[in-house]
Structure 1
Amino acid sequence: MIENYMNKIHAYIDDNRNDMIKDWEILVRMESHFEEVKNVQKVCAWVKEKFEEMGFECRVEDVGDGWAGTLIGIWGKDRPGKPVIFSGHMDTVHRSGSFGDNPFLVKDGNVYGPGVLDMKGGIIIAIYVIKALQEIGFHERPVKIIFSGDEEYNHVTTTGAEVFKREAKGALCAFNMESGNLNNALTVQRKTSNTVHMKVTGVGGHAGNNFLIGKNAINEAAYKILDMLKLTDLEKGTYMNTSIIKGGSGNCAIPELCEVVFNIRLASGDESERICREVERIMGTSHIEGTKIDYAIEKSNLPAYQKTEGITHLLDFVNAVATENGFEPFGGIAVGGASDAGNIIAAGTPVLCACGVRGQYHHSANEFAVIDSLYERTKIFAAVVCSLSKFE
């Protein structure tokens, strides 16, 4: 029976390749930097309409003033069994216009563009998984979607994380349609992050006339940077990166102000707390007397996604389905970036991440995705959903 279904699923996807590419292009051309809220809302409206056309009951959950909200939908809510979730986000890190006049460039089997990999290709996969399931008359269990409009902001001042945890609770499993890895591995572990904003205020003056009485803010910041770099601990999986430095007004002036942003990647919540204490100690110590330090620690609401037995079991199951249907098994890797997979696993639902199209260089002007992976992964995850009775 499943073999019969798979033949129909493969045929449907192969017959609709052009439509899949067209929808992918439409979605990518709707550029949606997380701070360009109206643009994200347009994407949300388009995605919502697509799922509603397939019979989903959808709503947009408010996550706070000035943000686009989280799209939640369910298909077959009265069916027996726990729901399966397809999740991810609709926002990107690319400002509108950053890819020029052609934000969807097809070249040598790849597509280049803002969010083509992270993660609009994953949304298209989710849409066409449902279309393929409907083609074979699937009705075994509910299917749920959760797509955030502020994930790239890390839900820092929103309720986006709480919405994810609430909506993911009680599901059988979830597939987070984030950027797929080029090597075909799914992500089974991710870090969380803290961002430290530091402002050093010194005493300005002329570099020659006031050298002895000036208090150089950049020099004090340099000492702080060296202290912060010592927080890197490879054994603990803690990486400290100096991300942004702003300071100085002229070559002959002692800088009165210097601002620095640090990004710290962490493998667990406990390590995050330890690092926060260390940051407080560092910021409380001045190397140049007379300088003043102001700082703020911004904790991501994308918690660490730590591998569990449930995640291992889900990966083994997906790999069994993939190989049964003639596809290569997925590897499982740990990565340094954060995602809402951390919120899903915090809700007690096993989840695999990076289930979207394969590619590379997300968050950069070179972002690209492999076209064939759009079709391949749609077939695989449609087969997985059809086989979930074996996972329970």
Structure 2
Amino acid sequence: MRNNLEKAFSFIDNKSDEMRLLWENICKMESYSYDFEEIDKVQSYLEKEFSKAGMETKIYDFEGSGNSLVASYKGENVLPGVAFMGHVDTVHKKGRFGENPVKIEDGIIYGPGVLDCKGGVVVGFLAAQALKHIGIDREIKLVYSGDEEIQHSTSLGKGADVFLNEVKGFAAAFDCETGFVDGRIAVGRKGGAVYKIKITGKGAHAGNEPQNGISAIKEAAYKTINLEKLTNYDGITYNVGVIKGGTVANSIPADCELQIDVRFRTNKDVEVAQKVLEDITNTSYIDGTTATLETVSLMHPMEKTDGNMRLFELVKRSSLENGFVEPKECVLGGASDAAYSVMAGVPTVCAIGVRGYANHTLEERAVISSLEERAKLLVATVLNMPKDFK
């Protein structure tokens, strides 16, 4: 096994310049979550690179959404496969990073998606090539989404289904999402959803006939207070983040809309939260108001499982054996597609992409050398994986 590991590490070192250039190139291709054309350009570019490297590829073409891309080295399929996951959509509109969106200084790369999650996309590809180079008896698969940052809302959940279907029956999945400078690895994540409650009252002149009006904003205030008091910081949290209502100060507002962020730790919590929101929506605190509930987007939680912990311990052992930073387990508040590999019954770890910080900001950056480090960690973990691991 040691000979194979050294051979794989040597392959990664020799591929370093090529893969760093690929990383830079796809980050220059800005791919905001709602810019479907640009997302698809990135996926097409990657598909060509994966094909040149001998991988079988498949694009899931979603109308009105960024596409998903799957690529694999199938091998002999003697043992259950291993998946490396990620996404190519980013959170800022094209142009926000200036005319030259990517820059490199003192071993750091700056730009849109360098950390979240295009660096991780390249980590997975590099690790897959290294494993193919040494020859292993598992299928190695890459699964890359085009609408992760918006909770698969534009693909109407089909982007999530890709993960559920493509990794089913695999031994392990590694979500090459944003890695942390201190080396933390996620074994669980909260899920998140956005809901809208639209409230209808009755407009009236606030001076001449206020008694004839029914305030939708007042109803919204009651709903906000009664919803947010149910927040449990160790369980489900509710946040009314946006309120839109009324037209002018001297009119009783006939309409109001609440936009609500909900976070949960388990899939059972999703059902509980849905019921709570339905009850709040259907309760009229101000007589004469009505309301409707809409689910805008939903990302399920990555539940912390025994399988995840077994895989984490394998990652930790592999990291220490090869002189990398000792990883600590963590549970994160932000959602990711690791939720769906766990829902498929596959042991999963997340936040194992390139290391850096300030993702989702205009200061996003990543440590360039962590590209090779994380690829080597993935390879070492897969090689350390017992044949009966599941």
Deviation by residue 1:170-216 (Cα, 9 ceiling, x = unmatched):
11111111111333111101122232201122333444334333333
TM-aligned CA deviation for residue 8 of structure 1: 4.3
Retained in 2: the 8 A contact 1:317–1:391? no
Distance 1:47 1:288 in 2: 55
| Preserved CA contact (<8 Å) 1:198 1:259 | yes
2:147 is matched with 150
> Hey, what does 2:67 align to over in structure 1?
69
Deviation at 1:130, TM superposition (A): 2.9
Relative distance call for 1:384 and 1:92 in structure 2 (3 A) is: same
Q: Distance in 2 between matches of 1:295 and 1:210?
A: 30
> Which whole-Å deviations, capped at 9, do the CAs of 1:341-390 have from their partners, x for residues lacking one?
11111212111111111223333333332323222212211222333356
AA matched with 2:196: H
Deviates more, 1:124-133 or 1:205-214: 205-214
**Counterpart of 1:86?**
84
Given the alignment of the two structures, is residue 303 of structure 1 paired with residue 300 of structure 2, yes or no?
A: yes
Residue in structure 2 matched with residue 331 of structure 1 by the alignment = 328
Cα distance in 2 between the residues matched to 1:169 and 1:117:
27
Q: What is the match of residue 27 of structure 1?
A: 26
Specify whether residues 158 and 306 from structure 1 end up closer, same or farther in structure 2 by C-alpha distance, changes over 3 A only.
closer
Matched-pair contact (CA < 8 Å) for 2:125–2:142? no
Q: 1:296 to 1:23 in 2, by over 3 A?
A: same
TM-score by length of 1: 0.90
Q: In 2 relative to 1, CA 250–112 (structure 1 residues): closer, same or farther, beyond 3 Å?
A: farther
The residue type paired with residue 372 of structure 2 is Y
- Aligned-partner Cα distance in 2 for 1:9–1:162: 32
Name the CA shift for 1:222/1:365 in 2 (closer, same or farther; >3 Å). farther
CA distance in 1, matches of 2:173, 2:204: 59
Partner residue in 2 for 1:128: 126
Moved more, 100-109 or 369-378: 100-109
Instruction: Tell me, yes or no, if the aligned pair for 2:117 and 2:353 is still in contact at 8 Å.
Output: yes
Kindly provide the amino acid, as one letter, of the partner of residue 125 in structure 2: I
In 2: Cα distance, 1:131 partner to 1:118 partner: 21
Aligned match of 1:177: 176
Q: State whether structure 2 residue 366 is matched by structure 1 residue 379.
A: no
- Local SS of the residue matching 2:117: helix
TM-score, with structure 2 as normaliser = 0.91
The alpha-carbon deviation at position 292 of structure 1 amounts to 2.6
Q: Secondary structure at the match of 1:196?
A: strand
Counterpart of 2:187 in structure 1 is 188
Within the candidate set 291, 294, 303, 1:293 is matched to: 291
Amino acid at match of 1:92: T
Counterpart Cα distance in 2 of 1:110 and 1:232 = 39
8 A Cα contact 1:79 1:139, kept in partner: no
Tell me the secondary structure at the aligned position of residue 57 of structure 2. Answer: strand
Query: Which residue identity does 1:120 align to in structure 2?
Result: K
DSSP 3-state at the match of 1:199: strand
- In structure 2, what is the equivalent of residue 222 of structure 1? 221
Query: Secondary structure of the residue that 1:99 maps to in structure 2?
Result: coil
Shift of 1:75: 0.7
- One-letter code aligned to 1:263: D
Superposed, which structure 2 residues align to 1:1-392 within 5 Å? 2=2, 4-62=3-61, 64-107=62-105, 109-134=107-132, 136-156=133-153, 157-235=156-234, 237-298=235-296, 300=298, 302-389=299-386, 392=389
Q: How far apart are 1:11 and its partner, in Å?
A: 4.2
Name the SS of the counterpart of 1:232 in structure 2. coil
Secondary structure (helix, strand or coil) at the match of 2:115 reads helix
What RMSD in Å do the two structures reach over aligned CA positions?
2.3
Alpha-carbon distance between aligned partners in 2 of 1:53 and 1:276, rounded to the nearest angstrom: 46
1:212 aligns to what SS in structure 2?
helix
Determine if contact 1:231/1:275 at 8 Å carries over to the other structure.
no
Query: What amino acid sits opposite 1:172 in the alignment?
Result: A
Instruction: Output the CA distance in 1 between the equivalents of 2:240 and 2:100.
Output: 33
Report the Cα offset of residue 296 of structure 1: 1.7
Question: CA 1:115–1:203 in structure 2 vs 1: closer, same or farther (change >3 Å)?
Answer: same
Query: Offset of 1:18 from its aligned partner?
Result: 3.5
Compared CA separation, residues 37 and 390, structure 1 to 2 (3 A): same
Cα pair 2:4 2:134 within 8 Å, conserved: no
What does the per-residue CA deviation read over 1:63-90, in whole Å, with 9 as the maximum and x for residues that have no partner?
Answer: x432233212211343422211111222
- Gap runs ≥5 in structure 2: none
- Displacement after TM superposition at 1:123 (Å): 0.5
Give the Cα separation in 2 of the matches to 1:183 and 1:325: 16
The whole-number CA distance in structure 2 between the counterparts of 1:251 and 1:116 is 46
Residues 255 and 370 of structure 1: is their aligned pair in 2 closer, same or farther, counting only changes over 3 Å? farther
CA contact (8 A) 2:31 2:42 kept: yes
| Alpha-carbon contact 1:88-1:147 (below 8 Å) kept | yes
Count of aligned residue pairs for this structure pair: 387
More deviation, 176-185/6-15: 6-15
AA aligned opposite 2:72: I
Deviations 1:142-169 (A, max 9, x none): 2111112222232342322222112111
Q: Does the 8 A contact of 2:86 with 2:175 survive in 1?
A: yes
Query: Would the aligned equivalents of 1:76 and 1:139 in 2 still touch at CA under 8 Å?
Result: no
Secondary structure, counterpart of 1:270 in structure 2? helix
Distance 1:124 1:82 in 2: 23
- Report if the CA contact (8 A) 1:61-1:70 is conserved: yes
